[in-house]
Every structure is written in structure tokens, then in C-alpha cells.
Chains A and B, each alone.
Chain A
Amino acid sequence: MKAGQSYIFRAVGAVLFFLINVFAIYLLLRGHNLPGGGFIGGLGSALSLIMLSLAFGVERTQGILRTDPVRVAGAGLLLALLTSLLPLLAGDPFLRHYHVVLPVLGKIEVGTPLLFDVGVFLVVVGVTAKLIFVLARPNADLTALAPEEWRNYAAPLEEPIEKTARSESPAPEDDVP
């Protein structure tokens, strides 16, 4: 995706990005008791990233993010796993959840399910954002993966097609009889 041409879209997009994310986190936090949760919140947050890349271009968005979304997904998975392993330390069965009532702002009941949900949130954000970025980059005449990422996702011996840009004439597809 190239950067959008519309100044208004860019201006609004920057504000909307924060609003959507606040809402997504709100959905995540209230998920245990009201409609919402990690999956929905994560999708919302991922959509906000897509919107940002529509407005500012995918390369700039990735620059703003700084980290590879796959790492975010990995961190989420690790968090969910650690949360589910935590009870083993206390001698309880795998995936047991604990709850505490905190006396702040009235009485708020929080528990490890929230941590688990945050993990799911991160996994969904990371995976969705990464896939969309990778699919979107060729449309902006970029390689699907940045050259410094090649080694992370592919065999070292092979050489990617999309070394420079899409404008290079594509190799002829093998003809199907």
C-alpha cells in the first residue's frame, strides 16, 4: 500500500488510530464480564494498524512500529503459556486461574484469565498485522519481506524472487496443459 493521497484521511487516521486502540483495549479489559475479549480486541487493534498503513503507507507504519509483529505474536504466545504453566508451581493443575478482588475504584475483580487474554490479544494482533503487511508491501513496490528479514523466514540457500520490486517483469508461470 502506498501512502494515501488524502490529507484529511491521514489527519483523521492518526487520531482514529488511538481511538480504535483505546476501544480495543477497553474491549480486552472488560472481556471477562461483558462482550469483548482478547480475540475481538486483537482484531480491532490489527485493523487499526491496517488503517494506519492505508493512510501513511506500509513502510512508514512498520517504521513507526519498530518491532516485527511476529515477535509480538511470539511474546503473546509465551505469555499465554506462562500463565497456564503458573499453577504448576503452586501444585495446581495446568491452566488453573486465580482471581483477586482489588479494593480500587470500588471493587475490581481481576485474575489470571486477563493475562491469558492479553496473550491471545497479542497473538492475534501480531499474526494479522504481519500477514497484512507482507501482502501489502508488494503493492507499494517493496519486497514482501524486508531483506534483513529474509534469513528469519526462509532457507538460506534460496534466493527470493522479489529482490527489488514488482515492476521487474515476473517470471513466466509454467503452462498448464
Chain B
Amino acid sequence: MATALLIILFVPLLGAIAALVAGRRLGAQTAWVVLLAPALACAATVWLVLQFAPGTRTVIEWPWIPSLGLNLTFVVDGLALFFGLVVSGVGVLVVFYSAHYLDHHYRDHGRFYCYLMLFMGAMLGTVFAGNLLLLFVCWELTGVTSFLLIGFLHDKGESRAGARMALLVTGGTGLAMLAGIVLLGQAAGTYELAALLDGVAKGASPGRLNAAFVLIALGALGKSAQFPFQFWLPNAMAAPTPVSAYLHSATMVKLGIFLIARIFPVFRETELWSPLLVTVCFGTMGFGALLALMSHDLKAILAYSTVSQLGFLLGYYGMASPAGAQGDFLHIASHVFYKGCLFMVVGIVDHATGTRDVRELGGLRHRLPLLAGITAVAAASMAGLPGTLGFISKEYMLKEKFDYWEGAAALNWYPMVLVVLASVLKVAFSVRLFWGVFGGKPRPELAKNFHAPGLAVQLPPLLLAGACLAFGLFPTVLGGALDRLHTVGLHHPVDLEFHIWHGVTREFIMSMLIVAAGAGTFLLLQLERWRWARVPAWLRFDAGFEAAVDWLPRGAKLLGRGLRFDRQFDFLPIVLGFTVLLLGGFWWRHRGELWPGLPVWADINPLRAFVVGLIAVAVGMVMHMRRWTSQLIAVSVIGFLVTFYYVLFRAPDLAMTQILVESATLLLVLLLLARFPRSAELSEATRAFPVGRQVMNAVIAGGMGLLVTLGALMAMKHKHAEPAGSYYLENSQPLAHGTNAVNTILVDFRGFDTLLEATVLVVACLGALGLLMRYRRTAEEWAAGAMGPAGYGLGRTTDQKKEKKSP
């Protein structure tokens, strides 16, 4: 079992490396190499499923950082396997689809498949993670890789904006989730999922559990694009279509659902569980369906309908009884099948006609008969027509809502109403999706750019649509398969039974009424020609979010200007003066116990005193000199003289370092000074402070000097603490096999620090290079004034604005 898990976790990473290597040579053909990775992962998952005994949980553990409570623990249970199947299975289809979709018009195929495989690896890691911290790390990795995927076409402004929005929203809510995880871990005393699922946290204080739940739920809501975070999903549609099909229908947005299902046994008993999930998520369900009806872009329709369906799936766990949910996998599977299929169809339509606007499309059934058939099945499943999996799912869903209504829970009518409303709207936009693209009269203007898609690219959506139909006609097969994935703690112990025909029950009547109402809505709106249908800006939220993000650098500028960071002459006396006042005041209050006593004159070493005298002369020179270069050289004389003390106290390493650093710094600052115009130096030299200001500066400088002297004297006198150095001195030879303790500390005892410092050095260098490449402001930015959005990389650039205006 461990071997299969290793294959599942590592094959995507190998695939990512292979994609990078193969990408340069093979271009669009990279996909065929990469396809092996999801196929292997999928096969390994299927093998695991066959090995798996329903209702059990296997924990596989490798130690990683045991001192932090972080082990590489993985859990194999029904939930993990189900999501693993979805991720790897859809992964196979998406890579196959991309192989045909991303033709030679696209660039950087290697990079694309590399990101895709990394994303898949992160997803599988999240799904199988058995430790909350590990789960969090993988969770954030999915966010980062999805950022790269959404922004893949990075020369388009909307891609960059969408990617940034997705990263900020999912990453930000992810941080809330981290806080929740830490709270839970502290309350329960462990981060291991297996222990938590067995109810370790039950005894913790309810307040803590509630807080932890709300924070973790925030992470799930953000990832699954629930209100008020729903706006990132439609904007993420700027990604290439295979990415949308994979991330935004089948996998990443389902992570929120996965997380809620994962923590179901832990938090189901808390009193906030039902109210929070039911209110927010069913609300989002109705809201998303309404927005989907108001959109015209095919991808936007699908995005909002995904938001809506995710709301239902999350809310579903919210209203599940403590004994467990039951039909959750059915609803998720149904959604994966039809939504993945529809995204792929939209990609093909976009590719074939060059537009995704439903108002410009129409009559394509003659040109794309196979695709029309596929879409008809998938849209029927989305609408819940009989004979498809969507129908079974909807029957089941309505039955549960009726049961819930009859239950005594508060707000028991709320899910029912919203589910019915959303279902009616869903039928309407499903019909519109099909009819708008394939129905109606053929449009002559579409024929110009039309190029027919190959058969191969239609194969993955065909398979998905086939699944919708097959499982819809033979639901018992699916029921049996899902029973195999029974998850202890999450699922109701009773077996699932799906049937195509339950007789004329109230659910069936309701379902038919919904279809009729939805069809009616569609007809009405079609006659109206969808004139009113437009998503108003205030309902989209994204403009507000962007404005808030734009205000970050502006706020920073305001703060910087308010505090006069640019004028150190005014700023420095305040900082130093406060330091002198606070530390001096503190010292004066405790002068009795802190007074170190004056040094005995006989102790003074003439050699050291001589060097101190030299340093004092150099300090005097700094004050006396007027040219910057001379001042700088005087300052560095001080630095070199300090080296003398290192030699005196037998620290040759430090002495050498000091000399080298001093030389390098001197050269560096000299180079910088050479960039200033002569006039700047002259104006400063002639600048005279008023007498009062000069006195104040002198007092502050004298106070600072006094404080530092006192500090040095005290440090000489009070030497209680055991110095840390002796351990290293004693163990340098036996443990690190080196006699230079400074070096053994750097490379061996504290090697981790050194490694991170080296990383920081490289990162700082890269940052500095970006800053040193200064940019010319455009005329617009000059006009915006000092508070304008220039620079910082966060404000919108002018190009982006132009792009926004054009459509």
C-alpha cells in the first residue's frame, strides 16, 4: 500500500520534471510524455481502491520534523481515495484534451505541463495528507500552482489580474485556515488527522473549537469560492480552458468540500457547524445561479454555476445529521462529470469559432453534430433531466431537503427554498447554454473563421458525457462503487441505493415542476432576448477588491510621506532623541543598582587607549569634512581601526571579515555617491542649521554617546550568563571534525541558519536588481502626482487599463 501511495505522490513530480525537459524539444507533443504521470497515478489509485476494505482507515507514516510535530503522515480512507480518483482520473482526460487543445499557437508547452503536474501533485498531497500541517502546506501549494496556471498567458492583463486575485483570496483565507489549524492542534494536542477523527478534540473547550472551526471554514469557503469570496472564480477563467476544466470544475475548487468533509467528524457537534455552512453556502447557491443566468460569456456562465453547485455541496455537509452524510459522493461525481465535460465543450467551441459570447453563437448543430450531442447530454445532466446522473442526484437531493424540512432544525425551510430556486434557474441556463450555441439559425458570420475540431479533442468530453448517461441509466453500478468508498465517521452506516425509478413520489413531482418552471423561464427570457441580463458591477465584487489592493501601496506611500521618511535630517533627531529619553530615563531611575562604577585608571591598556584615540580623531574628521567622499573614507577608517580590537582579542576570523566587508562597503557606497550630482553635495555643505537646532543635535549626540559608554561598562561588569560559545569550543573538534569553531558553527552546528541566510542573500540580490532597474514614468503617471499608482508593481499599469477598455 505504501508503494502505491509513493507512486501517487511522486509520479506527478517526476512528470513535472519530464515536462520541463521534454518541453524544449517536443513542443506541443510534450503531452504524450506527460500523460504517463496521471495515468500511472490513476492506476495506482484504482489499485488502492481495489485493496481497500470499506470503512477502514490506513495510516502510513514517515518521520520528517518530529520535534515540530510534523510527520509525513498519509491517510488512506474512502474520502481520500474518492478525491484521489477524481483528481487523477480527470487529470488523465485533461492532459489528453490539452494535447489537442494547446496546439502550436501556444508557447511554452513544457512549462504548462510542468505547472499542471505540480498542481496535480499538490492536490494529491492535500487529499492523502494525514497531518493537518502537511495538509496546509499542500493546500497552499495548490494555491501557488493554480496562480501559475491561471496566469499562464501572462502577457494578457486579465490573466495577471485573475491570477493575482485568486492567489490573494485563496492564500489569504488559507492563512485564516492555518490559524484555525493551530488552534485545533493546540486544543487537541495533536495535528494527526487519525487521532483527531477519532475524537481527541471532543473534550476541548467549545469556544476554542468554534473559533477553530470558523477559521478553518473560512479557508474552505475561500477556496471553494463561496460568498463573499465568489468573485475570484469567474476572473480565474482567464486561464486556458484545460486549466479551467481541471482546476475550476473538478479539482481545486472542490478542495473546500474535501476539507469540510475531512473535518466533519471533528466539528460536526459544534453549534456553529450547521448555521454557518447552511446559511452561507445555500445563499451562495441561489446567488451563483442568478449570476449565471445573467452572464453571456460561456465560461462565466459555467463559473457562476460552479459557484452555485459548490454552495450546494458545502451546504450539504452543513445539514447532514451527526450520524453522517450519505449522497455526497454522488453529487460530487455528478458535478465533476457534467461540469468538466461542459468546460471542455466550451473550449472546443471557442477554438472552432473564436468567440465565447452566447449572443454571438448559434446554429452550430449542423457543423458540430457530435459536440451538440455531447453538450445535450451534459446540459441535461446539469438540468437534472431523467436518464442522466444529474436526475438521480437531484432526486436524492430533493428527498434529503424534504427530510430536512420535516426535521425540527431551525431554518429548515431555507435550504429547500434556495435549492428549488437555484434548480429552476439552473434548468433555464442549461437550456440556454445548449440552445444558444447549437440551436437556432446558423450564423453566417461564424462560418468565416470556423475550423472544425478533430475527433480526438472531443473524446474526453464524450467520455464524461457518456459517464453522465451510463450512470444515469444504471445508477446501481455507481451506488455499488461508491459503497466501496464508505468512510468511517463521515458516512451514514446504511448502504446507498440509487434507482432510476422510485415511482411517482413527491420528489419526482417536484423535479418535474422544476424542469417545467425552468423551461418556462428560459422561453420567457428568450422572447425578451435577454436584454436585461447583465451582471451589475456591484454584484461582482471584483472591482472593489482590486481597488482595495490598489490602495495598499497608496496607503504605504501616505504613511511614508506622513512620517517624512525622505528627510532624515528631521527624522533622525526624533528617533534618537526618544531613545535617549527612554533609555536614559530608565537608567536614571535605576541608577543605584545599575551604576557600574568607573574603571580604575591603572587597568587601562596604553595600546588600546591609543587606538581609541585614533578612532576619536577619525570621528572628528567625519564631522569636520565637507566632501562626501572624504567623510566616507573617514568613516571607513573607523571601521578599519575597530579591526585592531579583533586582532587584540584573538579573533582572526572576525578581523578578516571586518576588513573585507569594510572594503566592499566602502567601494559600494563610493559608487553610489558618484551617481549624485555635484549640486546635491554643495547644497548640503552650505546648509546651516539654526543655533538652537545645533545645540539640540549636540545634546542628543552626547546623550547617545553617554548611554553607549554606560552600556559598555555595564557589559564589562555583569558577566553572569554562561556564554554560549564554550559548548561550541569544546565540541568543535569531536563533533564537527574541525578546529575552527567559527567555521564549524557556520557550516555544521548552525548550518541550517547559514543555508537560509544564503537564500536570503540571493533573494535580496534579485530584489535589488529589480529596484536598480528604474522605470520611466509615463505622462499619465506624472499627471497622477506623487500619490499616483506608479511603481510598486501592485498598481495597474497603463497597458492593463487599455485592455480593460477595449472589449
Chain B 761-777 near chain A by CB (<8 Å), digits 1 or 0: 11011101110111111
Interface size on B, residues (CB 8 A): 53
**Interface contact B770-A154, CB-CB below 8 Å:** yes
State whether A159 touches B776 (Cβ < 8 A). Answer: yes
Cβ contacts under 8 Å, A120 to chain B: 746-747, 754, 758
Per the bound structure, the CA–CA distance linking A98 and B136 in Å amounts to 34
Proximity string of chain A (94-121) to chain B, C-beta cutoff 8 Å, 1 when within and 0 when not: 1101010000000001010100110110
Question: Inside 8 A of B630's CB, which chain A residues have their CB?
Answer: none
Q: List 8 A-B contacts (CB under 8 A).
A: A32-B738, A37-B746, A40-B653, A43-B664, A123-B761, A130-B765, A131-B765, A135-B668
Q: Does A73 contact B (CB under 8 A)?
A: yes
Measured between beta carbons, the chain B residues less than 8 angstroms from A132 are 664, 667-668, 671
- 6 more contacts with CB within 8 A, not counting A43-B661, A74-B762, A161-B776, are A40-B653, A127-B764, A128-B664, A135-B772, A150-B773, A171-B777
Name A's interface SS: helix
* Whole-angstrom CA separation of A156 from B775 in the bound complex: 12
> Is B186 an interface position by the 8 A CB rule?
no
Inter-subunit contact A153/B770 (CB<8 Å)? yes
Q: Which residues of B, 412-443, contact A by the 8 Å Cβ criterion?
A: none
Q: A155 touching B774 by the CB < 8 A rule?
A: no
Bits for B645-657, please: 1 = Cβ < 8 Å to A, else 0: 0000000110011
Residue A176 contacts which of B566, B667, B752, B774 (CB distance < 8 angstroms)? B566
Residue A57 lies at the interface, judged by CB distance under 8 Å to chain B: no
Q: Select the residue from B664, B747, B751 with max chain A CB neighbours within 10 A.
A: B747
Task: List, in ascending order, chain A residues with CB within 8 A of B740's CB.
Answer: 31-37
The number of chain A residues with a CB under 8 A from chain B is 65
Q: Is A134 an interface residue (CB 8 A)?
A: yes
Q: Are A117 and B743 in contact (CB under 8 A)?
A: yes
Taking CB atoms, residues of chain B closer than 8 Å to A158 are 775, 797
Given contacts A33-B740, A84-B751, contact A160 B667 (CB under 8 A): no
B67: min CB distance to chain A, Å: 11
Q: Once the chains are docked, how many angstroms separate the CA of A92 from the CA of B667?
A: 44
Closest to B774 in A: A161
Total cross-chain contacts (CB, 8 A): 169
Beyond A117-B747, A130-B765, A161-B775, whether A136 also contacts B671 by CB under 8 A is yes
Chain B, residues 736-749, CB within 8 Å of chain A (1/0): the string is 11111011101110
CB-CB nearest 8 A-B residue pairs? A32-B738, A43-B660, A35-B652, A127-B765, A153-B769, A37-B743, A113-B747, A33-B739
Residues in A23-57 with C-beta less than 8 Å from chain B: 27, 31-40, 43-44, 46-47, 50
Known interface pairs A35-B653, A144-B772; A116-B747 also in contact (CB < 8 Å): yes
| A77, B761: Cα distance in complex, Å | 10
- Measured CB to CB, the residues of A under 8 A from B are 1, 27, 31-40, 43-44, 46-47, 50, 70, 73-74, 76-77, 80-81, 84, 94-95, 97, 99, 109, 111, 113, 116-117, 119-120, 123-124, 126-128, 130-132, 134-136, 138-139, 144-145, 150, 153-162, 171, 174, 176
**Complex CA distance for A106 and B785, rounded to whole angstroms:** 72
B672 within 8 A of A: yes
Give which listed residue, B672, B674, B774, contacts A160 with CB less than 8 A.
B774
Q: How far is the CA of A94 from the CA of B756 in the complex (A)?
A: 13
Residue of B nearest to A119 (CB): B758
State the CA gap A37–B742 with chains docked (Å): 9
Known A-B contacts A132-B668, A135-B668, A154-B770; A77 and B762 likewise in contact (beta carbons under 8 Å): yes
Q: Are B671 and A157 in contact (CB under 8 A)?
A: no
